[in-house]
Chain A
Amino acid sequence: MKDEKAVLKLERISKKFGPVQALKDVSFSLKKQEILGLVGDNAAGKSTLLKIVAGVYSPDKGEIYINGEKVNIESPLDAQRNSIEIIYQDFMLTPNLNAPANIFLGREITSNWGLFKRVQRNRMREEVQKTIQGLGLKIDLHKLVGELSGGQRQIVAIARALYFQCRIMLMDEPTAALSVAAIKDFHPRVKKARDNGVSIIYVSHRLPEVIDICDRIVILRRGQVVRIVQASEITIEDLVEIMVGAL
């Protein structure tokens, strides 16, 4: 299934917040069409690392390579330009806008009248409709996102990532706000995205989920990579012991 070529490579990434060393010399790579789990105890640096790749934070040190080329990701727009999309735990959607406005936020389809950029709402709605139908799903595109259920919001977040044909999808606790039924529906969507050519970094506290869905797992402890394992070759107990430093 997966191509051995690395689509994303992190080399010696370090980040400090005041006196706290959030990440220290983190290095690993993400292969094409791979789901790579990222696990660790609280404050292990998982979310910080995702935010660095997503352009929310800049690393103090280290390099990021995409398809072998060194890139500078200094803002979310830089990340988006490099086909990187992120799905946050709370989906990071603005509740007062509808799904198309959220999906296109920051990259609206506009017709330019000089300095005035008019948003083409109908076109945006049609495009989103196609993407969501392509996922075999349905949501009311006129409703504000604040009026949608957790599962529907997640669909919006995934549609946002897929619409822009991202090559790398970062998922930060994507099932944290979902019901058990919605989680069941979610896993096939992630695998379908992978099968469609997307490489995924998947962060979750739910270890059975990580083992079930991921190909490989990177284990972080206090901001450092302590082990990279094949998901099929590890048990939950071993994973916990490596995370807490008992193994």
Chain B
Amino acid sequence: MNQNIDTKKTRLSNLSISGNRVSRYISKFFLKSSYGKPVMFLIIFTIICTIITPKFLSFANMKAVLISASPLMIIAVGEALVILTGMIDLGVESIAASTGVLIAFLNIIMGVFTGVCIIVALLYGLLIGLLVGILVTKTRIPSFVTTLGIYWGLRGVGMLLGGGLPISPSSVVPARPIGFSWIAGYFGKVPIMPLIAISIVLVFHFYVCQSQRGVHIYATGGDEIAAKNRGVKTDRVKIFVFVMSGMLAATAGIMMTAWLNSGYAWSAQGYSMQAIAAVVLGGIPFTGGYGTIIGVGIGAIIIAMISDIITLVGISPLYNYIVTAVIMVIAGSQIKKSGEVVK
């Protein structure tokens, strides 16, 4: 009898030990790990949205959220790389929009082979990123100013190329369909856009966490002078992140053109700010050096969820920005600074 009681006690104490371990692991994950806080925001926001309307968690709605989040996820990955080094890229939305106009112009108006169009569009993003990187590192113009210039300049390029109008299949007679519209389609039952976006997030997450260049990106954001003095070629790191940001923005531009079935110079409006918001929601501070790419992917999904819930509930989309602002301030608490001075 006594032995039985002892065995039960041992089992109970084992259970409570393993329970403690689980709760310790969970609290460590949410409070200390780099992904914990973005995941926590995602869970809390999903619960709130589901309480507001159970339709939110439906398969069709989740699919819609992921599709609409896809271009932003891709742009936000590039933005995250730049912010990780302690800089900023305000030009990503203009790169995406002008890439859309460029690829639509080449594919629809000029009738260039689709594969060539995609390569040219990616090279365009690469070259813009290279230009920004060189301007920032060699002429020492701050990234904020350089990319603000890129923001306006490439809107202008897009306007000139498209004549101020969208370029769509009906822009030529007879109408010529976009050759890469399959990007906005399905692979079996799986939408291709989220597939591409999630793959990009995972690949870049792995790259940043595991590669030597990834360590140098974090080191540049942590203390650039210390990194430089240890022989890290910080200028090369900076050029690299702008090149990646340019190419990723171009990828998003191709995707948006396929999705909208047209290329327009004023598309992707607000994506730079949304990408920055996704980066902050994902746990990367403006000073750089901390956070993860997966966190940023989650941040982009949360932003897409905000627009989605507003549409589902039937509130005017005019409230979108206000709701985003409130969420941002709440999310900002995760990267709040201790100490006397906050900038």
Contact = CB atoms under 8 A, between A and B. Distances in A.
B227 A94 contact: yes
Given A119-B210, A119-B211, A97 B230 contact: no
A235 B253 CA distance: 72
B316 interface: no
Contact of B218 (A76, A86, A92, A97): A97
Contacts of B218: 94, 96-97
Given A92-B225, A105-B215, A75 B231 contact: yes
Interface string B207-218: 100111111101
B263 interface: no
A5 interface: no
A119 B207 CA distance: 10
A19 B61 CA distance: 67
A118 B226 contact: no
Contacts of B214: 119
A227 interface: no
A209 B219 CA distance: 33
Contacts of B221: 96
A95 B212 contact: no
Interface centre among B210, B225, B228 (most CB of A within 10 A): B210
B289 A96 contact: yes
A108 interface: yes
B226 A94 contact: yes
What DSSP secondary structure best describes chain B's contact surface? Answer: helix
Contacts of A88: 229
A158 B215 CA distance: 21
B165 interface: no
B29 to A, nearest CB: 16
Interface string A103-147: 001111010000011110000000000000000000000000000
B317 to A, nearest CB: 39
Contact of A76 (B211, B222, B229): B229
A110 B226 CA distance: 21
Contacts of B210: 118-119
A118 B231 contact: no
Contacts of B204: none
Contacts of A108: 212, 215
Contacts of A95: 222-223, 289
A80 interface: yes
B232 interface: yes
B218 to A, nearest CB: 6
A56 interface: yes
Contacts of A97: 215, 218-219, 222
A119 B229 CA distance: 20
Contacts of B232: 105-106
B45 interface: no
A93 B226 contact: yes
A77 B228 CA distance: 10
Contacts of B290: 96
A6 to B, nearest CB: 25
A162 interface: no
A54 interface: yes
A153 to B, nearest CB: 11
Contacts of B230: 76, 92, 105-106
A77 B211 contact: no
Nearest to B219: A94
A101 interface: yes
A205 to B, nearest CB: 21
B219 to A, nearest CB: 5
Interface in B285-316: 289-290
A230 B300 CA distance: 65
B339 to A, nearest CB: 13
Contacts of A56: 229
Contacts of A80: 231
Interface string B222-266: 110111111110000000000000000000000000000000000
B229 A54 contact: yes
Interface string A56-71: 1000000000000000
A105 B207 CA distance: 17
Given A76-B230, A97-B215, A119-B211, 18 more contacts: A75-B231, A86-B229, A92-B225, A92-B229, A92-B230, A93-B226, A94-B226, A96-B223, A97-B219, A97-B222, A105-B230, A105-B232, A106-B227, A117-B211, A117-B212, A117-B213, A118-B210, A119-B212
21 contacts: A54-B229, A56-B229, A76-B228, A76-B231, A88-B229, A92-B223, A92-B225, A93-B223, A94-B218, A94-B222, A94-B289, A96-B218, A96-B223, A96-B290, A101-B215, A101-B219, A105-B215, A106-B227, A117-B211, A119-B211, A119-B212
Interface of B: 207, 210-216, 218-219, 221-223, 225-232, 289-290
